[in-house]
Chain A
Amino acid sequence: KQEVTQIPAALSVPEGENLVLNCSFTDSAIYNLQWFRQDPGKGLTSLLLIQSSQREQTSGRLNASLDKSSGRSTLYIAASQPGDSATYLCAVCADDYKLSFGAGTTVTVRA
C-alpha cells in the first residue's frame, strides 16, 4: 500500500521568504505525482503535475521536483506572499488513476 508523508505538517514564514515543502512516498512505481492547494473550507486546486518520466515542472513562482528512485518530491515556492497561505497536498497517482494523498502542509505567510 502506498504511503505518502508530508513534512512539516505546518510552516510559518515571513513574506518574501522561499518555501520548501517535502513529500515522500514508499512505492516508486508511480504514474505521476501532483501537488494541490486547498484553501480553508474549499476544494482542491491542482498546481503542478509531474509525470513519472519527468524530473521537474515549473509554473510561475512554483517549481516541483521528482526523484522517483528515492521516493521524494519537493515543492518550491519563490518569494512567498500572504496569498500563498493555504494547505498544500501531495498526491501520488498509480497507473489506475487512484490517488494516494499525504496529510498536507499548512503554510502561513506573515505580512
Chain B
Amino acid sequence: NAGVTQTPKFQVLKTGQSMTLQCAQDMNHEYMSWYRQDPGMGLRLIHYSVGAGITDQGEVPNGYNVSRSTTEDFPLRLLSAAPSQTSVYFCASTHLTTDTQYFGPGTRLTVL
C-alpha cells in the first residue's frame, strides 16, 4: 500500500492564482481531512469528509473548497490564493473502526 499520497510536494503561486492540491489513499478509509500547519501553531483542520459525496467545514475553511467523488481521492482547491495561505498542507485518512489517522507527506505552498 502506498498509504496517503499528496502532490505536488512544493508549489509557488502568485496572489490571485488558483490551484488544486491532490490527495489520494489506497486503504479504503472512509474519513479524510485536510490540515494546514503554520510555524508555532498546531495543525488546523480545513475541511473533512466522512465518505464519498459528503464534505464539511473544519476550523479554517475560508478560501478553500473540497469535493469527494470517490473514496480514494480528496482534492483541496484554493480559489484565489492569498499570502495568508502560505503554509504546509497535510492530508489525512482514517478507518472509522481503528481511529488511527494516517498523514501524507505534505505540500509546502508559498503564495507571493
Contact = CB atoms under 8 A, between A and B. Distances in A.
Contact of B45 (A41, A42, A99): A99
Interface residues of B, number: 25
Nearest to B94: A97
A68 to B, nearest CB: 16
A89 interface: yes
A42 B105 contact: yes
A51 to B, nearest CB: 8
Which range contains the number of A residues in contact with the other chain?
A: 20 to 34
A34 B101 contact: yes
Interface string B73-112: 0000000000000000010101010011111111000000
Contact of A46 (B35, B43, B44, B102): B102
Interface string A82-95: 00000001010100
Contact of A103 (B35, B42, B100, B104): B42
| Interface of A, helix, strand, loop or mixed by DSSP | strand
A33 to B, nearest CB: 11
A43 B106 contact: yes
Given A97-B31, A97-B48, A103-B41, A34 B100 contact: yes
B75 to A, nearest CB: 18
A46 B45 CA distance: 17
A4 B101 contact: no
B58 interface: yes
Interface of A: 4, 31-32, 34, 36, 41-46, 49, 51, 89, 91, 93, 97-104
10 contacts: A34-B101, A42-B105, A46-B101, A51-B99, A97-B48, A97-B101, A98-B48, A99-B92, A101-B35, A101-B42
